[in-house]
Amino acid sequence: MPVPRPKRKFIVLAAAACAAVLAIVLGVTGFGGGGSPGVTYLDGTTNAVVYHVGHRPLAPDFTGTTLTGTPLHFYSYRGKVVVLNFWGSWCTACREEAPTLSVLAEQERPKGVSFLGVDLEDTTANAMAFIKNHDIDYPSVGDPSDTITLSFSSVVPISSTPTTLVIDRTGHIAGAVFGQITYSELTAMIATVSSGGAA
């Protein structure tokens, strides 16, 4: 029995069009960060990011009150290298990295590096207990409703706690660790930013 084939071309075209639609719908998955220019990853991990000079996003300014009740204006840190750590007393990874941060803060202070904490979704009592327990001697700004984090997340993709940013003397974000820091990652970032280097 002969099979009529008047629409073969059309069917092939239609099938191709469908395949294209499917490819577009399905294919958009998994293409997250392909690595933008001026951004490199430390140690080949995507959670420690270095922004090169000229590609550094400007850190948003903020004001707040420290856990001990002192008003703090972030702009007053301009001219210094700042390590800005977003943490909470309830956060396991924050507890894990706290000893490292405590040691690093003491070690870097003579070199003119300031450490500053942003305490998220916490009560002052719980946060103060954490600070006392972990010998943290740098100030932290209370951010119980994540408003400071919100202003930063339009600049760097903060998706979880902890997040640590290294900010250069001009107030630009030079490095970011999304998740728990390691001693080597953070010292490497501080060293390059302190020396004014690019990466």
- Which residues form the interface with another protein (CB under 8 A)? 1, 3, 5, 8, 10-11, 14-15, 17-18, 21-22, 25, 28-29, 86, 89-93, 95-96, 120-121, 123-126, 128-130, 132-133, 144-147, 149-151, 153-154, 157-161, 163
Q: How far is the CB of 113 from another protein (least distance, A)?
A: 24
What are residue 71's DSSP bridge partners? 65
The CB-of-99 to another protein minimum distance in angstroms stands at 9
CA-to-CA separations, 120 to 50, 60, 61, 153, in angstroms, rounded = 24, 17, 17, 14
Please report how close the Cβ of residue 151 comes to another protein at its closest, in angstroms: 5
Q: Position of tokens 């956060």? A: 91
* Shortest spacing between CB 191 and another protein, in angstroms: 27
Q: What are phi and psi of 39, to 5 degrees?
A: -125, 130
Complex with another protein: residue 45 or 154, whichever CB lies closer: 154
166 neighbors 189 (Cβ within 8 angstroms) = yes
Residue 70 corresponds to which tokens in the numbers above?
A: 């002192």
